[in-house]
Amino acid sequence: MEVRPVDLRVYSEELRPLLPPKIIDVHVHVALAEHVGSISEARKRENWAYEVGIDQSWDGLWQNLRTLFPDKDVRVLAFGVPLREVDLEQNNQYVLDGMSSSKDKARALLVTTPQCTTSAIEEAFLRGYSGIKPYPDLAPPSNGEPGIYDFLPKEHLELLERFKGVLVLHLPKKERIADPTNIRDLTELSRNYPSVKIIVAHVGRSFCLPTAQRALPYLAGLPNLWYDISAVMNADVIEYAIHTVGLDRILYGSDLPITLIRGYREHVGETYINYTDGDYSWNTNRKPPEVEANYTYYLYEELRSLIEAAKRVGDERNVVRRIMCDNAAELLDWH
C-alpha cells in the first residue's frame, strides 16, 4: 500500500494520540486473488466496492496493519470474501490456516451459503472457527430482494446457538437496517437465539443518520446485538448509535482491504457520495487536484469520525478504547 505525507500527518497528529495501544478489529476480509476469480463488468456495476480490489492475503493484511498502525497491537476477526464468484471452500480454508498460525492475533469466521449443511458448520466450529459470516449475495437468485432467512437458514442459527457462536450479519434490502422486515427479523433472532453473538455490520449499513434514526430506537435493549462501525465515515451516526444502543454495543471494524481507498464521503439525506482519486469506472465526480492531494485512506476517515463522535460524547479516550478494544475483548472473551 502507498503511504503519503498526509497519511503520516493524520495518523500522528489526529489518530495516534487517542487510539488505544491494543486494538481489536472485528471486520476484516482475507482472500487471495485466485480465490476471488473474475467478477464481470455487469456485476462490478452493482456495487462500487467490487471494483476497488477485494483480495488481501494474510501477509498483506499484517503488513497493511503495521503501516496503518505502526505502534499498535492489532488483532482481527477475519473472514473471506462472501461473493458468488469466490471459491468459498478454498477461501475459508485459507482464512482458517492464517488464523491458526497467527499466534492468537486472529480469529476466523466461516463464510456460509444457505446450502451449507449443519454438519459442515458443526465441523467448522470443531476446527476452530468462532462463528459464521453469511451474506445476502449468497442467497439463491429470486425476483425480490432476499430477507435475512434467505441467506441464513434457521438450522444454521440453531447450530450457532448451541456453540454460542459469533454471527457477523450484513443486512439486506434497500432500506438497510430501517427496513421493517429487518427490524422484525433482528428482534426475533435476538429472542430466539439468545446465545448467538450478533454483530450487525456497518451499524446495519447506517452510513447516513436518518437510516440509524429510523431503526436503532426499536433495537435498543436487545441483549445480544452489537454493531460494528466499519466503513461508517459519519460522526453523526456513531454519536447517535452510542447514545441510542449504548457505548458497550459498539465495535470497531475496518472492512479492510476496501477502506484502503483514498478520499472521503459526503452524506446527503439518506444517500452518500464517495469521493476518491482512484481510477474506477464509477469515479466520475472528481474534486480539484489540490483537494484530492489531501485525501487519506477511508479507514482513517472512519477513525476521524469515531474520534469526532467520541469528543461530542465526552471522555473521548475512554469511549475510543471501549469501541476499539474493550467491548470486543469482552464479547469474544479475548484478553
Residues of this chain that bind Zn ion (CB under 5 A): 255
Q: How far is CA 106 from CA 60, 96, 235, in A?
A: 14, 9, 28
Cell numbers 484530492 label which residue?
292
Strand ranges inside the chain, DSSP E: 22-29, 73-79, 106-111, 131-133, 166-169, 197-200, 225-228, 250-251, 263-268, 271-276
Give the residue with the Cβ less far from Zn ion, 175 or 255: 255
- When the beta carbons of 239 and 255 are compared against Zn ion, the nearer one is 255
Query: Which residue's CB is nearer to Zn ion, number 156 or number 205?
Result: 205
Pure H helices in 134-234: 148-151, 154-163, 180-192, 202-205, 209-213, 216-219
Q: Residue number with the shortest CB distance to Zn ion?
A: 255
* Closest approach of Zn ion to the CB of residue 17, in Å: 28
Least distance to Zn ion, CB of residue 286, Å: 26
The distance of closest approach from Cβ of residue 257 to Zn ion in the complex, given in angstroms and rounded to an integer, is: 10
Gap between the Cα atoms of 238 and 230, Å rounded:
11
Give least dist CB 49 to Zn ion, A: 8
Residue closer to Zn ion by CB (options 25, 255) is 255
Kindly state the smallest distance separating residue 61's Cβ from Zn ion, in Å. Answer: 13
Residue 106 corresponds to which cell in the numbers above?
486472529
CB of 224 to Zn ion, least distance (A): 21
Residue closer to Zn ion, measured from CB, 236 or 255: 255
DSSP string, 19-78: S-SEEEEEEEE-B-HHHH----HHHHHH-GGGGS---B-HHHHHHHHHHHSTTSEEEEEE
Cβ(277)–Cβ(291) under 8 Å? no
